[in-house]
Amino acid sequence: MQISKKWYALHTRPRWEKKVADLLSKKNIESYCPVNKVSRQWSDREKIILEPLFTSYVFVKIEETENSSVRSTDGVLNFVYWLNKPAVIRSEEIDNIKRFLNEFDNIQLEKVSVKPNDTVMIVCGAFMDKKGLVVSMKNKYVKILLPSLGYLMYAEVKTSDIEITSATQFPYPENRELKYTTK
């Protein structure tokens, strides 16, 4: 049986991102510290510097058996957890970050969350690959309105099981897609 490697996010000491990535590579552990090309102006010159895109975060691609080796690396505080497990980052997201950084400089990050009227795609569970409209939110759950068969059925989906596809509204239930509610 082949064990597959997955991407995980690590929380690092402040300003240790590049150092942690270097230490992990010395242990032959695949890591990725996305760096942003940023222009800085000094009194006598302008210089392009490379600074971590995500402060205090580094990504590693490992098998679960390598967790303790990663944790014991200087500068690593812990894995980033979601629902009491190390958060798995999809390979497509890492590839998208790499592609974006190759194409653009001076990238700015903006933290976003799911909010009413966002169009989302369920990425996990029984309703996987269904789209809908966020109508209500409560804690870590999105309330979903399923307008199929002419009935309104409510189901709760974890916010970790959806991703935002756009901030526009769906047409009303005739499209037979999922409709999400936030409260």
Q: Do 96 and 16 belong to one domain? A: yes
Higher pLDDT, 110 or 144: 110
Q: Give a yes or no: residue 171 inside a domain.
A: yes
| Global pTM value | 0.62
Q: Could you list the residue range(s) of the whole structural domain that residue 78 is in? A: 6-103
Assign 20 a pLDDT band (cuts: 50, 70, 90): very high
Assign 42 a pLDDT band (cuts: 50, 70, 90): confident
Residue 70: count of CB within 10 angstroms of its CB: 22
Is residue 174 scored above 70 in pLDDT?
A: no
Is residue 154 scored above 60 in pLDDT?
A: no
Q: CA 88 to CA 59: how far, in whole Å?
A: 10
**130: its two tokens:** 């269904």
At which of 76, 103, 130 does a domain end? Answer: 103
- How many separate domains does the chain show? 2
Say which amino acid occupies 39.
S
Higher pLDDT, 39 or 5: 5
Residue 19: count of CB within 10 angstroms of its CB: 16
Shortest CA distance to 131 belongs to which of 96, 159, 164? 164
Q: What's residue 134's pLDDT?
A: 64
At which of 103, 133, 151 does a domain end? Answer: 103
Task: Give the containing element (helix H, strand E) for 152.
Answer: none
Q: Do 24 and 70 belong to one domain? A: yes
Q: Do 123 and 80 belong to one domain? A: no
